[in-house]
Structure 1
Amino acid sequence: MKNRYLRIVLSLILSVILGLGWWVPSAKADTENQKLIAEVWRIVNQSYVDETFNHQNWWLVRQNAMKQRIKSREEAYSVIVKMLASLDDPFTRHLQPSQYRNLQVSTSGELTGVGIQIALDEETGALQVITPIAGSPAEKAGIKPGDRILKINGVFSTQFTLDEAAAQMRGPMGSQVVLTVARAKEEAQEVTIVRDRIALNPVIAELRSSPGSVPVGYIRLNQFNGNAVTEVANAISNLEKQGADAYILDLRNNPGGLLQAGIEIARLWLDQGTIVYTVNRQGIIGSFEATNVALTKDPLVVLVNRGTASASEILAGALQDNQRAQIVGEKSFGKGLIQSLFDLSDGSGLAVTVAKYETPNHHDINKLGITPDRIVSWEPTAFNQIATEVDQQYKTAFELLTTSSVVANAS
């Protein structure tokens, strides 16, 4: 009887040991996933621009997330996405490792896909085109700023996050993606686009002239990527050597990019003055100033439209408020929030809205945009018609540069 009791006890101990043998690895994985969730929570807690965290108890959000049993990294990502969604900020988002690498590639200067800058409409939740990249397959296929993408390869775009939608449109050269696109009052239509390598040389520059007018340097800046500052500086220097006496800086359909690039390009045009103010959640204001390195003092007109966003608005606002340039076109997009990227321990990334920016005259751009000095409607223009006589915004800018008021303003 005693031996039988001993066997039962040993059997129970063995069962517990075997159970622990199965349980320990799962617990370890659970712990690693919880560490990742806690890492994301901590970064947002320390850095996010809104100290109310969208008027919610952010500590309670952590507690609810951490008490869940997480069996896989995918489940951890889902918990993180849900946690960040409670902030109601589409720009604060988690980027899985492949998405994070793709974002780093796009800001460095090259990518493969269709070439569309997209955003989520905050009111409707619809996937909206900010702008197609100049010369991209999307632009050649007729995609326009303001278009709504209803489906991607037959799947409703509302089923994707912003980064997932972008990933769906990237792919190998020569492959196809079918977008269902709606525009204004027109019926939705399917557009088939062949993916291609997109060289992100962000600058197009050439000298323009007409009888009786000053030589005008035309610079079109498509994106604030890692090449932008050098390319704009080279463009100004080359146009100065060619005899340019005035400039048009075309920021239409430029969705922004690197904040520092916007600041450095403003310094290429400004000798002195504030470029932008930044406001964090404590309300502390920092500023970036011109540094007396302007490459030209020639008259300048800047072109903007509703596809002009983020760093483009910083640049346009700095030039407008410092009376360095006149702004022509339509009211810009209105993205006045600054995101920082954080590396996470598993190779993924986190984009967090850490501040907002204001123009030198303390104009809050977010959702309001930059209002031009001269409002001229943007008419749909084919790629090869941009900055020609049929482009009314460009034509207005060119005519302004022949008047004494612009020259006096620049001086």
Structure 2
Amino acid sequence: MTKQQVSIFWFRRDLRLEDNVALYHALQSEHPVIPVFIFDTDILNSLPKNDARVGFIHETLQKINSQLNVIGSSLLIKKGTAIEVWKSLFDEFSISAVFFNKDYEPYAIKRDLAIAALAKANNAVCFSFKDQVVFEELEITKPDGLAYTIYTPYKNKWLEKFKFMAPLQEYVTLNYLSNFHKNNFDFLTLQQIGFEESNIKVVPHNLTQISNYHETRDFPAIDSTSYLSPHLRFGTVSIRKLVNWAVNKNAVFLSELIWREFFMQILFSFPKVVTHNFKSAYDGIQWRNNEEDFKRWCTGTTGYLMVDAGMRQLNETGYMHNRVRMVVASFLCKHLLINWQWGEAYFAEKLLDYDLSANVGNWQWAAGTGCDAAPYFRVFNPDIQLKKFDEKGIYIRQWIPEFDLGYGQPMIDHAFARDRAVAAYKAGILK
């Protein structure tokens, strides 16, 4: 008996039905669409069994599945390596076309090339689309066609090009939901995937909290952030909707969205930044990499209030305020002379909004080794940062309840640490 021909839409970093570019095109293909999500063991095997991000993905997929159930369809959940799962899909279904949105990380690029080759070998056509960014890869370049490595000219070019596109087109997928394949696939539980519930949860995003973003964003005690970052990371919100909103509401918030795309372009153009300094002149720095010092930083017991509050917030919630992220990152690299890669790896393990390009970009910025980075002799003073941005100690008391009982002494003197860092950087910079 001849199998029914189908198209496959592959969910990845775009966990929503509305305003989803590849899904929009898939639903207008000539065959019914089976939506698929793969819990990729090449990624999962390195994660703890109670990883909150896996729980959030699973919860989001359940919501999508419920939406699909209303129209007589469902989401096909698979677990395994991407290539093995796709081999099984081609065995199980007569697939004429595969649709997915692009991902620009090194692992994803390699994976998608392999899947495209597999599709071709099975006489299926692969279609990939730009969805998680406004401008991708090398759409924003210098006049010579090379990637920008300085943020401000990149931003100016981004805004200049955006003017001719505003408002951004949003893709009304909801008009075509009847084109989903009619099915009733079993939905795998979190336990069947090999994970368990986490006590840490992703907070719903809230745009109304950022109307005064430009005035309040540096003060961690003021709950004025949008909590959008995990939702952007996993695509539960559309970047086009956000940019169309931000361009009329808050220019500073829009700049943060542009930073996100700048770091994505850096990662795409210079993939070495994942494991190496962007500025190779800094390769000669002799890091101390003291494991006991690192442990105190991780656990929020350095004796510096803003550093400790930030690390405790991260460990307990998976979030950390952006101003505080800069302080704790500078402290690790400059005060403790610990390689930024140690901090980047710890954030990758803990952050709900972990995004490779932004995490690497921001850590190298703090360390002074990245593109458009702070100069090496710039060393944040955690006490001055505390006085400027949490003078009444509201944020500190939230995460360090023992503060008023008398807090411990700093593990290292700031002036000594600053002088040591500047000397180490100066001696380590390759001429």
**Interval of TM-score (by shorter of Structure 1 and Structure 2):** under 0.3
TM-score, normalising length from structure 2? 0.25
The structure whose RCO (Cα within 8 Å, separation 6+) is larger is 2
Q: Looking at secondary structure, tell me which structure has more helix per residue.
A: 2
Q: Looking at secondary structure, tell me which structure has more strand per residue.
A: 1
TM-score, normalising length from structure 1? 0.26
